[in-house]
Structure 1
Amino acid sequence: MRLGFRLIWSAFLTAIASCVAYFFYDTYMAYSNAPAITFPNEADVSNKLTNLEFLSTLPYHGCESLVYHDGALYMGAVEGRILKMNDSGLHVLAQFGDANCASSHTCGRPLGMRLSLDHKELIVADTHLGLFSVSLIDGTHKKLFPLDGNFKVTCFNDFDILPNGTVILSESSTEFPMDDIMNIIFSARPSGRILSIDLATGEWHQLMGGLAFPNGVQLHRDGESVLVAETVTSRIHRVPLDGSPPTLFGGELPGVPDNIRASPRGGYWVPVANLKDTFISHLTERTRQMPALRWIPPMSFLISKLKLYGIDFWCHSEWLAVAT
């Protein structure tokens, strides 16, 4: 009897796995990246960023897209909060979701963040809920986009604001939400895009499509184009605002780019993860042409099943590192 039960159970699991693979495996694509640029031996090495002070953000995690203004740091956390850190400590400034929300789709997950043009508000891109403004004084917030059912938010990420108030925003995927980030990355499907949004009218159009996880967005110093970090391919694109064809601004990056911000001293800051010539980078290089080795069930499915058995985990940082 026990052997028969095991056979039936094994057949059932095999059928389930086959169905899941049928629906998800064909979304995984082969791709290749250019080799990382090789720095000359005589290149200067700066150790300034090794002198760090770590600031705890507990009990919140995964803080991203920092904004510094008037002596305070502002950031968004995995728990759906907008946080303010100053000399008096860490405070919750705002929360877009309901107080009793139970998932990131209802609680929100703030990612990209900028000061408004008048420096009175934060403008925040929530990956699930849309664009919001947040008062720096009392945290009151208002939804800016979308305001009707004519646009479905899938995976908002980062943005910049043009002098005329237009928002240029990256939507990392039009297929997977951010809590399925592993599928966005490992599938390598170029379903991401760059949007131009007129907040005054709610009108929008696509500036660039066919991107594999577009991430950080930064207005170029020429004022006529934006720089876009494409995470999966380790590239930075320069996208003209007038609709002209985009060009490659930076390829052969030494790792995986995330955000991008202008430096006040000229140039741009691009934080990168998974530096090349490491074990993980070699592993991903090997699997780029083998989609079958990169396929996994949707991450949100795995996490939900683990939570059923009381298993929970965080894959998010709980520290800020400040260079001095």
Structure 2
Amino acid sequence: MWKLNTIPIIAILGVFIFLLSSPSNARLINRLQLPSPLTGPESLAFDSNSGGPYTGASDGRIFKYAGPNEGFTEFAYTAPNRNKTICDGITDFSSLQATCGRPLGLGFNYQTGDLYVADAYQGLVKVPSKGGPATQLVTSAQGTPFRFLSALDVDPVTGMVYFTEASSTYQIRDLQTLITSRDSSGSLLRFDPSTNQTTVLLKSLSLASGVAVNRDGSFALVSEFLANRIQRFWLKGPRANTSELFLQLGGSPENIKRNSRGEFWIAVNNLLGPPPPPRAPVLPLGVRVSEAGIVIQIASLAEGFGTEAASEVQEINGTLYTGSLRTSYASIIRPFF
């Protein structure tokens, strides 16, 4: 089912949706402000008690939202031997992030309470349920050190951790160069906590920016920001270890999040017209799709971020929690379902 109540023109599976009107289809409820001057709540996670959201920030720390009175409070950090004097308060794309850490993708293992984090510089790390310093798990694959980890999801049944390396050539501080280069050195990987083994599932991805496993663990989705598409990698069944096109989009997809019904929300930054300069306006969207790749809803996120890019859309109890690499806050939005 298509909902034709959004603002842009977007192409999905080769079908163009022409909009008939321009009202916003979502209402901003609240903005969750990071401690100043921090930026970049790129990904969000909720614990087994629906506590949170938890999010990473530009200075290498992970914060937990503790309510409107306390706001975000420090929960963990990803870099070993992190120096608070040097690191606290740095903003995104600082050269200090290589030392202080830059947590991006987050996901809980609800069976153990551990929080897994894809850190752009520190690799795959694990934070215990009580918070504090992270344990570094994986920093390389097939003998090659990671350059830029990005997204992460945890299989709720098996505890397998799926994560992406956005690029094996560039780092996050080179993001604009990475985008203009049309790099295709990204990968989809899997970490098995029971054996501590890491497996490369897909290579040659064009900025692998998001990942989500479906509810029965039969496949994983991975987004390619530079190719405007989502690929499906089969984990089980007769097509296991093969991939196929799941969804072709008219904009650049970032994180993918599974909701309680087994559907997926994809953050898509639809370009207004031809490819723009680095800081030209974008129109952030949330695209909700079924396990079969059928588009159910397209929601404008402009109410939450204006013309800033959205990095994630996550549905909790009928409300959308959205993140962004560029802003100093996460937004809570109620869409029209």
Pair in the same fold by TM > 0.5: yes
Q: Which residue does the alignment assign to 1:72?
A: 52
RMSD, aligned α-carbons: 2.9
CA offset at residue 159 of structure 1?
1.9
Where do 1:251-270 residues align within 5 Å? 251=248, 253-270=249-266
Match of 1:235 among 229, 236, 251: 229
Residues 182-229 of structure 1: per-residue CA shift (max 9 Å, x gap)? 122111121111112223333222211111101110002442110111
Deviates more, 1:223-232 or 1:70-79: 70-79
Question: Is residue 2:259 matched to residue 1:249?
Answer: no
Distance 2:169 2:199 in 1: 18
CA offset at residue 283 of structure 1?
6.4
* TM-score, normalised by the number of residues in structure 2: 0.68
SS of the equivalent of 1:179 reads: helix
Distance 2:168 2:261 in 1: 36
Question: Is residue 2:71 matched to residue 1:89?
Answer: yes
Q: How many residues align?
A: 258
Distance 2:104 2:277 in 1: 28
Q: Which residue does the alignment assign to 2:319?
A: none
CA offset at residue 178 of structure 1?
1.4
Distance 1:263 1:241 in 2: 20
The one-letter code sitting in structure 2 at the alignment partner of 1:260 is I
The one-letter code sitting in structure 2 at the alignment partner of 1:85 is Y
The one-letter code sitting in structure 1 at the alignment partner of 2:39 is H
CA offset at residue 47 of structure 1?
4.6
The one-letter code sitting in structure 2 at the alignment partner of 1:92 is E
Q: Which residue does the alignment assign to 1:172?
A: 166
Gaps of 5+ in 1: 1-32, 285-314
Cα contact 2:43–2:56 (8 A) shared by 1: yes
Cα contact 1:144–1:199 (8 A) shared by 2: no
Identity %: 27
Cα contact 1:115–1:122 (8 A) shared by 2: yes
CA offset at residue 119 of structure 1?
5.2
Q: Which residue does the alignment assign to 1:26?
A: none
SS of the equivalent of 2:17 reads: coil
Bigger fraction of residues in strand: 2
Cα contact 1:185–1:212 (8 A) shared by 2: no
Where do 1:270-289 residues align within 5 Å? 270-273=266-269, 275-276=270-271, 278-279=272-273, 281=275
The one-letter code sitting in structure 1 at the alignment partner of 2:28 is N
Where do 1:1-324 residues align within 5 Å? 37-39=15-17, 47-59=24-36, 60-69=38-47, 70=49, 71-87=51-67, 88-97=70-79, 98-99=82-83, 100=86, 103-118=96-111, 120-146=113-139, 150-162=143-155, 163-241=157-235, 243-251=240-248, 253-273=249-269, 275-276=270-271, 278-279=272-273, 281=275, 316-324=326-334
Residues 38-91 of structure 1: per-residue CA shift (max 9 Å, x gap)? 12668x999552333222213121112111233321000111110111122221
SS of the equivalent of 2:175 reads: helix
Distance 2:185 2:251 in 1: 21
* TM-score, normalised by the number of residues in structure 1: 0.71
Deviates more, 1:94-103 or 1:213-222: 94-103
SS of the equivalent of 1:64 reads: coil
> Which aligned segments of 4 or more residues in structure 1 are displaced greater than 6 angstroms?
33-36
Cα contact 1:161–1:167 (8 A) shared by 2: yes
Distance 1:266 1:138 in 2: 29
Cα contact 1:114–1:160 (8 A) shared by 2: yes
Gaps of 5+ in 2: 1-10, 88-94, 279-324
Question: Rg larger in 1 or in 2?
Answer: 1
